[in-house]
Structure 1
Amino acid sequence: MSRRCELTGIGPMVGHNVSHSNIKTKRRFLPALSPASLQSDSLGQTFKLRISNAALRTLDFKGGLDTFLLGAKDEQLSPRALKIKRQVKAKAAATAVAA
């Protein structure tokens, strides 16, 4: 399983451990990922995604999963998140035509 956020695309970064004597050794900074059940308002479904804690805070700020996905770039989303985004767009287009 990859250590990458499904919504923001954030992955591991590389840096150094620096000792007291200033010796540098390579290390990896892993993102803080957690499984989250996210509710889609327009679809009326719950989706389980593995997202970073920063993405969870961004979802709360933006107003939910649907608005976040509609504003997100396709390149940074995982294939599962892209599928959800397509479903949300189709539902929004169907309600716009019906209105």
Structure 2
Amino acid sequence: MSRVCELTGKGRQVGNNVSHANNKTKRTFLPNLQNVTLISDSLERSVKLRVSTHGLRSVEHVGGLDNWLKKTSDDKLSPKVRKLKREIGKKQAAQPAA
């Protein structure tokens, strides 16, 4: 399982450990990923995702999963979440007509 946020695309970064003697050794900085269950209002069901804490705060700030997916471009999203975004779009397009 890759260590990438399914919503924001945030992944690992590479940097250096720097000692007191100024020796540099490579290291990785991993995102703080959490397994969460988010609720889609339009689909009326819950979805399990692996999301960074930054991404989770962003979803809450915007007002929920549906609003977040509406404003986010597809290139950042994982294939699972892209499919979810299409389902939500279809459902929202069908609701005003019915």
The amino acid of 2:13's aligned partner reads M
Residue 97 (structure 1) shift: 2.3
Runs (4+) of structure 1 exceeding 4 A deviation are none
Could you tell me which residue of structure 2 aligns to residue 54 of structure 1? Answer: 54
Aligned partners of 2:20 and 2:56: how far apart in 1? Answer: 36
User: Could you tell me which residue of structure 2 aligns to residue 20 of structure 1?
Assistant: 20
SS of 1:36's equivalent in the other structure is: strand
- Aligned counterparts of 2:46 and 2:83: Cα–Cα separation in 1: 14
Residue 95 of structure 2 is matched in structure 1 by 95
User: Which has the larger displacement, 89-98 or 63-72?
Assistant: 89-98
Counterparts of 1:75 and 1:96, CA distance in 2: 28
With normalisation by structure 1, the TM-score equals 0.97
Shift of residue 96, structure 1, vs aligned partner = 2.5
Whichever residue aligns with residue 94 of structure 2, its letter is A
Once residues 28 and 88 of structure 1 are traced to their aligned partners in structure 2, the CA distance between those partners, rounded to angstroms, is: 36
Distance 1:82 1:34 in 2: 19
1: distance between equivalents of 2:37 and 2:46? 6
Q: CA deviation at 1:34?
A: 0.4
TM-score with structure 2 setting the length: 0.98
Count of residue pairs brought into register by the alignment: 98
- Unaligned ranges ≥5, structure 2: none
CA distance, structure 2, for counterparts of residue 45 and residue 18 of structure 1: 47
Where 1:3 maps in the other structure, the secondary structure is coil
Alignment partner, residue 38 of structure 1:
38
- The answer to whether residue 65 in structure 2 is matched with residue 65 in structure 1 is yes
What is the CA deviation profile of residues 24-71 of structure 1, one whole-angstrom value per residue up to 9, with x for unaligned ones?
100000000000000000100100000000001001100000000011
